[in-house]
Structure 1
Amino acid sequence: MRGYKLFCIIFFFFISLFYSVNAYSEDIEESIKELQNRLMELEMKLNQMKQQQKEQALESRVLKMEKELSPFMKPNTFRVYWKDHLTFETPNKEFKLKIVGRIQNDWTWQSANQSFEDAFRKGFGDEKAFEDGTEFRRTWFGIDGAIYEKIIFHGEWDFTDGDTDFIDVYMGIKDVPYLGHIMIGHFWEPFSLEDMTPNIYITFMERSHVATAFAPDRNTGIKFYNTLLNDRIHWSFGVFRNTNSFGDSSNGKNSSTSDDGEYDITARITGLPWYEEDGRKLLHLGLAVSRRSPHEDQKRYSDRPPVHQTTTFVDTGTKDKNGLDVFYDKIYLLGTEAALVYGPLSIQSEWAIAMNDRTGKGKVNFTSDDDVDFTSWYIYASYFLTGEHREYNKSTGTFGGITPRDNFYDKKTGYGLGAWEAAIRYADIDLDDSGIKGGELDDITLGLNWYLNKNTRLMLNYVTADLDRKITYIDPDRAVQRRFKNGDYHAFMMRFQLFW
């Protein structure tokens, strides 16, 4: 009996020892994983510091050479160098000129179910809807610079469609005491994080519905902007006139894009409640508002999935479901924005509403309940498989470009991976309200980006969309009435992008 008890004691001792050792080994494995992750972070930070030191050393050598040569150089002599752009600059930095531009070539393969295609091809007569294709999405060229250091200018023109249109054409004054900066000309009104982020830096090939359907376009106006609290807060405020693609509010003798005496007011404020490691970890919050005066009291909202080479899916038109013309006195836009960057992980979201004050013109028994509200929102997440992070521009409250840890090719180090980013986005727009039947569209976009270097990117996007919209049409082939309610759409896209 004593031997049995001793056996039981020894048995339970070894069982306890086994579980203790096993638990201890699991703790060791977790500690090793934490140390490995921390080591990777430190390694990335070390590489970034080395790169910064190289750039600073190079800049220091250039400045030293300039200082040595300055007695022999005239004040208006330009030096030429490359730093993301081809740049000309005088030794005293009073005058600067940069050559800028971008080329984006897109390819699209798309399809929809049969009832979907019939509704748009036969109902709307859009025979080329859902066809595969290619296009140069953007071919922009321009200049950017400063005169006497404080006077800035920018001119960029679009040659995509075989003609020439204004993109951003403006002049301004920097560092005005007690005010900040002033910009005058043709440029984006300050609304929406995705809209204000340059298209060469956005995560997906196309922006979401918040930007494409609700955010104001480029218009001619004057804008004031500045930062506060060590650049943790950015604000901008502007007054604009609706203009055409050349920045004019008149299309001819008897045609205009703005009513006499009517102006649009748009403002945006953003903040960084959390900002660490030079932007590798941050939280961005923002709010934008706009008061708009629709031309001739009418406004038409329409949009497509985030595929530029497809047709319009949702459209309010200018009449309600009873066939009456819809007129708006004023339109108020409200947009909220949030973005989180935690190393290679990024999450971004926006929500916007267009509040349209409908007038009683053209409608009997009008009440305030006839006012029309449309909404849109999106959320997306992205992750850098190679460890980079989205870079933030504190002076504008937007995101900037990506600096790969290793370029695809470097003359000194040879070939590398570049930077790889995977992303997913869900977006929705609802244009149904108060007798307006524009439809509702929601879509999912999957994206893969390969950054060969700071100036070159290859993009792959897959889009699947679901449309809910009542469309009644006469089928010309069988002379019968048909009805469409909802359908599915799919597209695969590719873009090669180069900018400077």
Structure 2
Amino acid sequence: MAFMAGLAALPSCASATGGYDFYGNWPTHVVAGDGTDIGIAALYQVDLNRFAGDGGRFQDAQTNRRKYLGIYVRKQGIYDLNVQYDYQARQWVDTFIRVRSKGLLGTDLGTFRFGYSKTPVGFEGVTSSAATTFIETALPTQAFWEGRRTGLDWAWLRPSYLINLGYYFVHKDLDGNNPGHSVAGRVAWVPVNEAGHVVHLGLSASRETPEWRDGTAPAARLRARPEDGLSTLRLVDSGALPYTNHIDRRGVEALWIEGPWSLQGEYLDAKVKRDGGRPNVSGHGYYAFATWTLTGESRYYSDGNVADRRYSSRNQAVIRPAHPWGALELAVRYSRLDLDDGAVAGGHEHNWTLGANWYLGEHLKFQANYVWAVSERRHVRVDPDIFEMRAQISF
């Protein structure tokens, strides 16, 4: 009750601090006379998971999912510096400096970013955690997306295409894990790129080369939760794959937005190359989903990715809900993952997910999902039904 009362008080408090309101941008940043923007960034998510038909394997849960807090300094068109930490998982998230060469040098040589950031293979994976259509990413994204690594990447962004190349060479990530290095690339053709009208077709690939650590050989592992975020049980799991020499990942992605409708899909695979005569291991999967925004808004697309209906310095009107009580969105997704390969019985799974999202203003979001999961591993079937809810605050 105290939380709701605090939210109710925000409009009057904000309006007293210089034009901010509950519906618009909250007073979390200041802009200097030269245009330098300094502010606090936060993402708070609290989730609820309920399971049925699982034979008692899963436990109902409700807790915090993410607690990001960070700071940023940016100057439009020139640079941005971002430092962010997840106090729930106790690990660093996006922490980098990005420079736009045209604004800095007067010549457009692309955008350069150095630091700890997301690797590009996996369309859902590189989407902001605050902006995902479903509460959890699809099965193949969980299994194959590499996550964040530290290094340098370069992006050449044009309205009709994009090129993104990265070399992640720092020996370990910011949490001291994942020793090794990676190279990655992503290209996309965007023949239609207007507000509310988008066609995006992309390809991506990477090679991760892990290193020995404290005398222990590197071991890859491919696995996924049944599209819930609070359990520790994976229904499909390759197990540890020791003596991994490198991991090759590939992706094919597509996005179509037409007014309040959208379609998005992706095929992903990974191949683990192992030393010492051990067999290589491969896995593959895909997902496809459709969305319909009942209140008429379009999904927001920029620089090769989708974003939530919240603050954007480019064009707030594109993503602000057209109604004072927010935007309502319905979504359905099908996903499939296969980790059976020869002697490695990682299992296979396919899921259907129904989702509903309520975007209340620019900073509040409420989600509900129902997942029907069907899995089999080593001739054992587990088919849980999962009900999920999330409340989110982000700025």
TM class by shorter-chain length?
Answer: 0.7 to 0.9
C-alpha contact 1:142 1:155 (8 A) present in aligned 2: yes
RMSD: 2.2
Q: CA deviation at 1:91?
A: 2.0
C-alpha contact 2:65 2:230 (8 A) present in aligned 1: no
2:343 is the alignment partner of 1:435: yes
The aligned counterpart of 2:188 is 270
User: Which residue of 95, 100, 120 maps to 2:41?
Assistant: 100
Counterpart mapping for 1:26-425 below 5 A:
84=25, 86-93=28-35, 95-114=36-55, 117=56, 129-146=57-74, 150-161=78-89, 164-175=90-101, 177-228=107-158, 231-241=159-169, 246-248=174-176, 257-258=178-179, 262-275=180-193, 278-295=194-211, 296-310=217-231, 311-318=233-240, 326-361=242-277, 363=278, 370-393=279-302, 395=303, 397-402=304-309, 403-408=320-325, 418-425=326-333
Calculate the TM-score normalised by the size of structure 1.
Answer: 0.67
CA distance in 1: counterparts of 2:127 and 2:274, whole angstroms: 32
The aligned counterpart of 1:122 is none
Larger deviation, residues 289-298 vs 439-448: 289-298
Larger deviation, residues 295-304 vs 460-469: 295-304
Q: Give CA deviations for 1:22-54 in whole Å, capped at 9, x if unaligned.
A: xxxxxxxxxxxxxxxxxxxxxxxxxxxxxxxxx
Q: CA deviation at 1:243?
A: 6.6
Change over 3 Å in CA distance of 1:109–1:293 after alignment to 2? same
CA distance in 2: counterparts of 1:152 and 1:81, whole angstroms: 23
Change over 3 Å in CA distance of 1:110–1:347 after alignment to 2? same
CA distance in 2: counterparts of 1:244 and 1:108, whole angstroms: 33
SS in 1 for 2:384: strand
Change over 3 Å in CA distance of 1:140–1:243 after alignment to 2? farther
Q: Give CA deviations for 1:335-357 in whole Å, capped at 9, x if unaligned.
A: 01001111111110000111222
C-alpha contact 2:54 2:385 (8 A) present in aligned 1: no
CA distance in 2: counterparts of 1:243 and 1:492, whole angstroms: 40
Change over 3 Å in CA distance of 1:360–1:188 after alignment to 2? same
Change over 3 Å in CA distance of 1:218–1:80 after alignment to 2? farther
CA distance in 1: counterparts of 2:203 and 2:294, whole angstroms: 31
Give the AA of the match of 1:146: R
User: Which residue of 452, 458, 467 maps to 2:360?
Assistant: 452
Q: Which has the higher Rg, Structure 1 or Structure 2?
A: 1
CA distance in 2: counterparts of 1:236 and 1:438, whole angstroms: 32
Q: CA deviation at 1:234?
A: 1.7
SS in 2 for 1:293: strand
CA distance in 1: counterparts of 2:260 and 2:86, whole angstroms: 33
CA distance in 1: counterparts of 2:170 and 2:53, whole angstroms: 36
C-alpha contact 1:81 1:88 (8 A) present in aligned 2: no
CA distance in 1: counterparts of 2:295 and 2:73, whole angstroms: 34
Q: Give CA deviations for 1:432-476 in whole Å, capped at 9, x if unaligned.
A: 112111110111111011111121111110011011101xxxxxx
C-alpha contact 1:111 1:131 (8 A) present in aligned 2: no
Q: How many residues align?
A: 355
SS in 1 for 2:220: coil
Q: CA deviation at 1:218?
A: 0.8
Calculate the TM-score normalised by the size of structure 2.
Answer: 0.84
Change over 3 Å in CA distance of 1:436–1:450 after alignment to 2? same
The aligned counterpart of 1:53 is none
Give the AA of the match of 1:106: D
CA distance in 2: counterparts of 1:457 and 1:166, whole angstroms: 23
- Identical counterparts, % of pairs: 26
Unaligned runs of 5+ in 2: 1-17, 212-216, 310-319
The aligned counterpart of 2:12 is none
CA distance in 2: counterparts of 1:407 and 1:160, whole angstroms: 32
The aligned counterpart of 2:394 is 499
Change over 3 Å in CA distance of 1:247–1:219 after alignment to 2? farther
Give the AA of the match of 1:197: T
Q: Give CA deviations for 1:403-454 in whole Å, capped at 9, x if unaligned.
A: 211122xxxxxxxxx2111111010111011211111011111101111112
Change over 3 Å in CA distance of 1:390–1:291 after alignment to 2? same
2:385 is the alignment partner of 1:467: no
